[in-house]
Amino acid sequence: MNEAIKKVSAQYPCREQLIKKLYQFYGTDDPFPPAVYLYGHTSTGKSTILRAFLSLLRNTKYAVLNAIECYTNKILFESIINRLQSHTLCAKNCYASLASVDCMKDFVGQLQGFDTQFSYILVLENAERVRDMDHNVLPMLLRLPEVTGLNISVLLVSDLPFEKYYIRTGLSPVIKLFVSEYSKSDILTILKNDFQRVQNQLNANIKRKSDLSDDGIQSRLNILNSLTEDFYENYLNIFLSVFFKVCRDLKELQLVSLECYQSYCEPVLDGTIASNDVTKLWRHISKTMKLALSTIYMRMGNINQELARPLSNMPTSEQAPETIEQMQTMKRLAQSLELPFYAKYLLIASYLASHNAAKEDKRLFMKNHGKQRKRMQSVIAKAKVSEKMATQLGPKSFTVDRLLAIFYAILDDKVGLTCNLLAQISTLVHLKFMIFASGEGSIMEGSARLQCTVGMDFIVHIGKMVGFNVRQYLCDFF
């Protein structure tokens, strides 16, 4: 068993402590704890590590369910019985459950008939949804060993802390396991482990190129095989220095890093830039990373394909071709995004809240804000270099109240604060155009702080679509 645990720890680095805790609870011959609450931010490996660990347990049957799918008591109870007894709904059994379970009494009775030679683990993901079920469901799930006589444990997985469940009274004690977010060094370690997989992906992409001769393909493959892990680690350090402040989602970083790595390797494979010339490689990749940073979470096609698409307008002599190309690409992406009218204004308001200081809101959005004295220090402060501009330093967090205040200030129409409007904020968060900086939970609780994830070029084109000049309301431009 210890060898299997070591294998899981090697497969999922930076989570050794979590795996050891799970082994202490479920890997020994001791009775299982009645309930364990596993919580932490999204994309921290909770479910993935849990499934890998449970598959190693002997004489243990487990069921993994999503509380979102089990939206009624009957569906929840029957799904648990079916999964723990390895009963699959199919045409042979007319898609019928193992037993018809309509209430808690029937559910407990079915569990009492299980084989006591086995141990059982019930994993319930998105466990916060259980709070919306009947009042006796959650307390009874936490006491299943007591009422069934089985060695059974309920493992609740959620993004929320257990304190959010205290609205329910009479809950049994629960062992709480917190899964922290990955640090920058953790993400670097995990991405480094993907080196061979990334190399295989690039190898397959090169072989599929139809515009290269056999000799050209072989030459690229030879150069690709000569690239070392140190070369890939140097790339990852550059990549994370740009993306880590904006995105902590491991899956998203894995996808975007793969796309950017293809562009990063292109001049090396062509033979135009040496693999050890980091400065030239950085200059080459900066445009691709800037576009990827502006469109992260959006899933609008391959970044390299967007950069390679032809432009509809030829660049003027006053503007650089790279600038025109980037503007055209962002325009295409903005036009392909279908959002409701008010959601576009909410997105603009979130960008303004992220890139303006809160103390400037009165001067920016109120008509009678009073006169502003021109002092020498304010004049010097306005003479900013690009690196010190708020739009270049990255997004700051803001509250929902401030977001709505800016939204109403920039919107000409008078619209009430309705459920539909608040739902559009949640939709923007779900689409990752905004992310929670802290206090993740309900939008209406007031403690949540958000950040806008889209870039300036993108939000400028969104503003043009609704006839709003975004630059006019940014402190960096006056």
Return the percentage of the chain with pLDDT > 90, whole number.
33
The reported pLDDT for the residue numbered 315 is 43
Would the pTM of this model clear 0.85, i.e. be above it?
no
pLDDT digit string (tens) for 275-333? 999 899 999 998 888 878 777 766 544 555 544 444 344 344 444 555 555 556 656 66
Residues carrying CATH 3.40.50.300, the chain: 2-179
pLDDT digit string (tens) for 159-191? 888 887 765 556 788 999 999 989 999 999 999
Q: What SS3 class is residue 49?
A: helix
The reported pLDDT for the residue numbered 423 is 84
Low-confidence residues of the chain: pLDDT under 50: 300-301, 306-319, 374-376, 379, 385-387
Distance CA 234, CA 358 (A): 37
Query: Which superfamily, per CATH, for 2-179?
Result: P-loop containing nucleotide triphosphate hydrolases (3.40.50.300)
The reported pLDDT for the residue numbered 112 is 92
Range 233-241, long-range pairs (CB < 8 A, 24+ positions):
233/188, 233/192, 234/278, 235/261, 235/264, 235/281, 236/188, 236/191, 236/192, 237/188, 238/278, 238/282, 238/285, 239/289, 240/184, 240/187, 240/188, 240/191
The reported pLDDT for the residue numbered 213 is 84
